Structure 1
Amino acid sequence: MITFADLQDDAALLSLEHQLRLFDQVGLAAWSTNLDEARFELTRDDGTTVACTDVQLLGSAAPGPRSWLWSWANPTGYRDEVLLAANEARKFGEQHGIAELATAEVPFDALPGAPTDPAVVASHMMEVTKAVTGRFTGYQGPVGGGTRAAFLIDHPDFRLPGPEAPRISRVLQQGLTELSFHDQRRGVDSYARRRGLAVTHDGPRTHIAGPGLTVDIRFTEQNLFGGMSVHMGDKRVPPQYISGN
């Protein structure tokens, strides 16, 4: 049985790598959208604009009712083509008994950790939808009155290249020390497999291998990150990459 929390862990590291890629391409861009035209644009600081090739509206988190409203349930009504990801999440939720995905309006208190910030709620819903749909580039922003809307977007420039040792190492280091997980080992396993890396588990250790890269990660009995060693080619990454619980 898969849970909402499992999906959060499954998405965490690959989502981070996609967001790093997005920042590499557009920086702290301003955004605009016209959902009637299925349009989403990002404008860089230099004034150049990237018109996304696809936009999916997932829903919105509002501070007044303290709830998340899925886009497929919004009475405003949106074009079917911008609801594909949200409807895919709903279908998955119905099939697997995940109420947060299948219920039209989800109270903040019903989510893991009972978050109170609409931006955090929008992020949670966006992350699990990424894991369900395989669309991993997301964007969320204010739409008035403290409400946050969440989107999945696409453009050829946002897509990841093949696994590269420095970036994989950074994602693992940054993600395991800065992101919140319910099960860190599950998150690592999901990331490595989705990136096409070889992953094996040996007792408390997880081994990852890819082009020019080998990683050995130690976990506690509770699957908490205990430490990591990284080799790129013939070089071992300095020990500041090691953390301990």
Structure 2
Amino acid sequence: MAKWTPSAKIPYSAGVPETLTLTNLLDDAAMISIEHQLHLADVVGDHNWNVDLRQQRFTFDKEDHSITCSRFHLLGSAAPGPGSWLWAWANPSGFPDELTALSATLRDFGQRYNIAELASAEVPFDTLPGSPAEPHHAASILIEAAKAVTGQWTSYSGDAGGGTRVAFLVEHPAFRLPPPEPARVMRVIQQALTDMWLTDHRRALHGYAVRRGLGATFNADHTKLALTGPGFEATAAFDELGRVADINATLSSTHGA
């Protein structure tokens, strides 16, 4: 299982001691997570989902066939009553160890790096970035952190009744990303910059490029980042606060715009 390592840091912080934080993890996950979720939507389309935790079976049921996950992991649940997230490893319901083991690795990771949101059994919504009020928003934050730590990038969050959201990481060969396609890459970047809560744009953009197998080179003062890939060239310029101020991209006609 792939985990966060110092090599995942962006070059301008290389060699500088870093205290890893929840916001670092959210920046690391943001863009590659969006692309996986877009791909999941492409694969499952209109569907119903069904899970049997005791039998350890998770399916996406489509009109003409079902997709049964080759493996899935129960992360936890976000409940509106207490206004908190409960990690699966701490759930008293006694779910099979195989389903909760990954959440336990997140606990251990949180203890190692002093990230309370991962190490604590229960996490109040108002202690999370942005103090989300809705269970699905709170769940999404901890799902993203889990992805960055584990390297498992496809998630599913469903209604468990009473407003509670239950969250999983799901695996299937069909959920693996195809080779990067220029127009999809640009959509992912633009969507993340518009919709995601990002703290460090440089880290997020560079990390996405590296994880996606794109070329990524900063200029001398790290005010620009050049991205390259098959049929794709782009330069991102950063403002004085480190935010992406502008992206100029060229997509080849063979890949579409």
Q: Please give the TM-score of this superposition, normalised by the length of structure 1.
A: 0.92
Q: What do the CA deviations read for 1:14-60 (whole angstroms, capped 9, x no partner)? A: 0000011001111142111001111111112x242111111100000
Q: What do the CA deviations read for 1:189-234 (whole angstroms, capped 9, x no partner)? A: 1111111222111232111111221110111121212111111237
Q: Distance in 2 between matches of 1:234 and 1:30?
A: 37
**SS of equivalent residue, structure 1 residue 57:** strand
1:105 aligns with 2:133: no
Q: Distance in 1 between matches of 2:101 and 2:53?
A: 13
Kindly provide the amino acid, as one letter, of the partner of residue 236 in structure 2: I
Alignment equivalent of 2:240, drawn from 221, 236, 241: 221
Q: Distance in 2 between matches of 1:196 and 1:131?
A: 16
Q: Which residue of 2 aligns with 1:193?
A: 210
Q: Distance in 2 between matches of 1:62 and 1:34?
A: 20
1:231 aligns with 2:250: yes
Kindly provide the amino acid, as one letter, of the partner of residue 160 in structure 2: V
Q: Distance in 1 between matches of 2:79 and 2:195?
A: 26
Q: What do the CA deviations read for 1:145-192 (whole angstroms, capped 9, x no partner)? A: 111011000111110122222221221122222322122221111111
Q: Which residue of 1 aligns with 2:24?
A: 6
Alignment equivalent of 1:27, drawn from 42, 45, 62: 45
**SS of equivalent residue, structure 1 residue 8:** helix
Q: What do the CA deviations read for 1:118-144 (whole angstroms, capped 9, x no partner)? A: 000111111100000000000001101
Q: Distance in 1 between matches of 2:121 and 2:70?
A: 27
Kindly provide the amino acid, as one letter, of the partner of residue 59 in structure 1: G
**Structure 1 residues not aligned, in runs of 5+:** 239-245
Kindly provide the amino acid, as one letter, of the partner of residue 138 in structure 2: V
**Structure 2 residues not aligned, in runs of 5+:** 1-18
Deviant stretches of 4+, over 3 Å: none
Q: RMSD of the TM alignment (CA)?
A: 1.7
Q: Distance in 2 between matches of 1:208 and 1:175?
A: 16
What's the CA shift for 1:114?
1.1
1:171 aligns with 2:171: no
Alignment equivalent of 1:83, drawn from 100, 114, 120: 100
1:210 aligns with 2:224: no
Higher deviation after alignment, 160-169 or 206-215: 160-169
Identity of aligned residues (%): 46
What's the CA shift for 1:80?
1.4
Q: Distance in 1 between matches of 2:179 and 2:104?
A: 29
Note the 1:13-92 alignment, pairs <5 A: 13-44=31-62, 46-92=63-109
Q: Distance in 2 between matches of 1:221 and 1:37?
A: 53
Q: Which residue of 2 aligns with 1:134?
A: 151
What's the CA shift for 1:109?
1.3
Q: Which residue of 2 aligns with 1:242?
A: none
How many residues align? The count is: 237
Higher deviation after alignment, 92-101 or 26-35: 26-35
Q: Which residue of 1 aligns with 2:162?
A: 145
Kindly provide the amino acid, as one letter, of the partner of residue 97 in structure 1: N
Q: Is the 8 A contact 2:72 2:99 kept in 1?
A: yes
